Each structure stands twice: as structure tokens, then as C-alpha cells.
Amino acid sequence: MAPIDFWYSIGSTYSYLTVMRLADVAKRTGATFNWRPFNVRHVMTLQNNIPFKDKPVKTAYMWRDIARRAERFGLTPRLPAPYPLPGLVLANQVATLGVEEGWCETYTREAYRLWFEMDEPAGQEPNLTLAITHAGADPARVLSEARGPRIEDKLQRETENAMRLGIFGSPTFAVGDEIFWGDDRLDDAIDWARRTA
Amino acid sequence: MAPIDFWYSIGSTYSYLTVMRLADVAKRTGATFNWRPFNVRHVMTLQNNIPFKDKPVKTAYMWRDIARRAERFGLTPRLPAPYPLPGLVLANQVATLGVEEGWCETYTREAYRLWFEMDEPAGQEPNLTLAITHAGADPARVLSEARGPRIEDKLQRETENAMRLGIFGSPTFAVGDEIFWGDDRLDDAIDWARRTA
């Protein structure tokens, strides 16, 4: 089966559903996922794609839909979670460093768990320190490095890579050039990866 | 199983997937669907919810996604279909009259088939005459009545009923007050209807 790039931003609400179940899905299906954090807010601002701001009816539906889907996956969020995230960029800079050092997935899952299940927004304290520590890294060193120009540039380059693929939202699954947007397209992406074996 | 209201607008692209397969789904699952045409453009304009206009990247994805989903359902559209539809309101006024007279479903399916598979936009000629005739009604009488104030008001009232339920897009499936937006939530709606038996 072809590997699947899992493009996501910490800050996306629907990505909670993917982040929390992806390890189980990988085990069950044999799919392999490369976690690729990017800055979805930058993409959406550039493309004038504003799904929820000033759209109370659609926003209310989004939370209800996430609640129902979470129940189906055995997840227990407290909804609505704090939204939007002021610390979106920093949360994803930390994830970007985590990719290099091998703890991105563990950090991201804990950051989402604290955000969606404990009311502690990702990208700010105490979420940052708790999630980085949970992932086995040193918060002071990580936060200093994640805020630096090297990681800032790397997140920006990954965001440009996502845009080159035609990505406009999070989560998006990519199998080669074929992209699948939304947690609800995860099965379609896995089917595609199987056919691309 | 509780009945499911199928709220839709002829003019919505993703609704093609639902319209073309809903009869098969009903047969296979035992679900019953009430076809409820409304004016989604009115709702989206009111709510400043503009998913595709001036969003070329998201629009390109939408067509690709519909192509893949259509293949999965055994449908053979010619994509992209003409979009948006200048005749959206009239197309749905005809459907509204069709609800009263019992031929809404047949008309809607043929209007979508001609639009998505024959490049003939719904809500204008020759689509109107062909689809109304296919549904067994008289085009001259139907078009005259559908354009009149009584049907105009009825479509507007149905659009207000949709908004009262929190509906903001097409297709939406409603089981009582519980709404499910998108062709990809059809299975969730059927599960909900089963639990609401």
C-alpha cells in the first residue's frame, strides 16, 4: 500500500477526529501515515476561505457534527472546544520540530486531547509544556527552537508544499498527487493507497 | 425507521450524488425519504456562506472529489458540469410543484441527469421541458404555474422551514430536528433514523 501524507494543522476542529484515531486506523488497516503539519490559517486567508467566522449557523452544526462523529469513534470531547486558537502558529512550529525529532505524533495527540477534552487550548500554556513533556522532550529547549527562524521557515515551506498539492483545508490526506480533504475522506484515501500499491 | 427529510436545491453540485442514488439507497436500506426542495442560494447569501465563488483551488477539488465519489456509486457524469445555474430558482419552483403533484423525484433525477451527464443546465431549456415531460407532466402548464406567486411563496416558505432547522447547505438530511449535511452524511442519517424508530 502506498504511504499516505497526513497534512494537518493543530487549530483545525475536524482534525481532532483524525488525530485521535489515526494510530488505531493504521494498526487496523496497515496504512502508513506521514504526519505533515502546515499552517492552514495562512492558506485559508490567502484563498479567502473562511468556513466558520461570522457563520453561527454553520458553526453550530460543525460542533454537533463533531460530537456525533466523536461518539462513533469512541471519543469523549467537551464541546465546543475553545476556538479559534490564538496560538495556532506556535502549536504547529512545535509539531514541525517534532517531525525532525520523532515525537510529532505523540505531541499532537496530547495537544488535541488537552484542547478538546480538558479545555486547554493548544499553542499556549499549560498545553504546550504538558504536551511537549508527554512526548518526552524538554519544553524550554523545544519552545526556544520552535520559535526560531529555522523552524519558522520550515513550517512556511511545508505550507507552500501543501498549497502546491492543491490543499486548502485540514485534515487532508495525500497519496502522491491525489488529495482527500476532511476526516470523512480517510477511508477513501486508504482505498486509493491500496490501489496505488 | 423514522422518515428522513431530504432537503436539497437543484443547483447544488454534491446533491447530484444523492439525487442519482437515493432510490437505490431507499430500496437497499428500507429508509423513506421526503423530497423537500428549497432555495439554498437564498440561505447561503443571507449567511455569507460562499463555498466556491472566487475559490478556484477549492472548486477544482470539489469537481475531482465528485468524480471519484460518482465512480464509487457507478455514476458517469461529464465534469465539470455547467456551474453555477442561472435558472436555480425556476428549477426548484418546478420541483416544488412536483411535490404537490407526485412527480418531484422523477423530475429532479432527470433534471440532474441532463445537467451532469448531458451538459444541459437545469432550470433552463431544453432541460426544463425534457425533465418535466419525462416526469409525465405538461411543460407549458407546469412552467406557467411554477412561475406564479403561489409556488414562489411555497418555495420561500420551505426555505424558511429549512433555515428554522439550522440548514445552511444542500443536500441536508433531517430526522426530526437532527440534521446531517452533505451527501457523505447519508449513512449517518440512516443510522440515526434507525435509532429513532
Angle among Cα A89, A95, A96 to the nearest 5 degrees reads 85
No. of helices (H) and no. of strands (E), chain A: 9, 4
**Scanning the structure block, which residue is given the C-alpha cell 509544556?**
A129
The minimal CB distance from A168 to the residues B47, B58, B188 is found for B58
Would you say residue A96 has pLDDT above 90? yes
Query: Does an H or E element contain A187, and which?
Result: helix A186-195
Is A188 in contact with B68 (Cβ distance < 8 A)? yes
Would you say residue B109 has pLDDT above 90? yes
Would you say residue A160 has pLDDT above 90? yes
Contact call for residues A128 and A94 (beta carbons, < 8 A): yes
Q: What is the mean pLDDT of residues B85-107?
A: 98
| Rounded Cα distance, B8 and B170, in Å | 5
Show residues of chain A in contact with B70, CB under 8 Å. none
Structural domains present in chain A: 4-195 (3.40.30.10)
pLDDT (tens digit per residue) in B113-172: 999 999 999 999 999 999 999 999 999 999 999 999 999 999 999 999 999 999 999 999
Is A65 in contact with B184 (Cβ distance < 8 A)? no
Mean pLDDT of chain A: 96
DSSP annotation of A184? G
Q: What is the mean pLDDT of residues A1-7?
A: 97
**Scanning the structure block, which residue is given the C-alpha cell 468556513?**
A51
Residue A79, pLDDT score? 97
Pull the grid cell for residue A27.
494498526
Residue B51, pLDDT score? 80
Would you say residue A49 has pLDDT above 90? no
Q: What is the mean pLDDT of residues B89-102?
A: 98
Pairing of strands B172-175, A33-37: unpaired
Which residues of B are tagged catalytic? Answer: 12
Is B181 in contact with A65 (Cβ distance < 8 A)? yes
Is B181 in contact with A68 (Cβ distance < 8 A)? no
The minimal CB distance from A48 to the residues B54, B69, B184 is found for B54
Look up A12 and say whether it is catalytic: yes
Would you say residue A12 has pLDDT above 90? yes
| Rounded Cα distance, B133 and B107, in Å | 8
| Rounded Cα distance, B52 and B59, in Å | 5
Residue B61, pLDDT score? 97
Contact call for residues B95 and B37 (beta carbons, < 8 A): yes
pLDDT (tens digit per residue) in B46-82: 888 878 888 899 999 999 999 999 999 999 999 999 9
| Rounded Cα distance, B185 and B191, in Å | 10
Which is catalytic among the residues A12, A15, A144, A170? A12
CB contact set of B139 (below 8 Å; sequence gap of 6+): B128, B129, B132, B133
**Percent of all residues in chain A with a pLDDT value above 90, rounded to a whole number:** 93
Distance (Å) from the alpha carbon of A68 to chain B's nearest alpha carbon: 9
Would you say residue B197 has pLDDT above 80? no
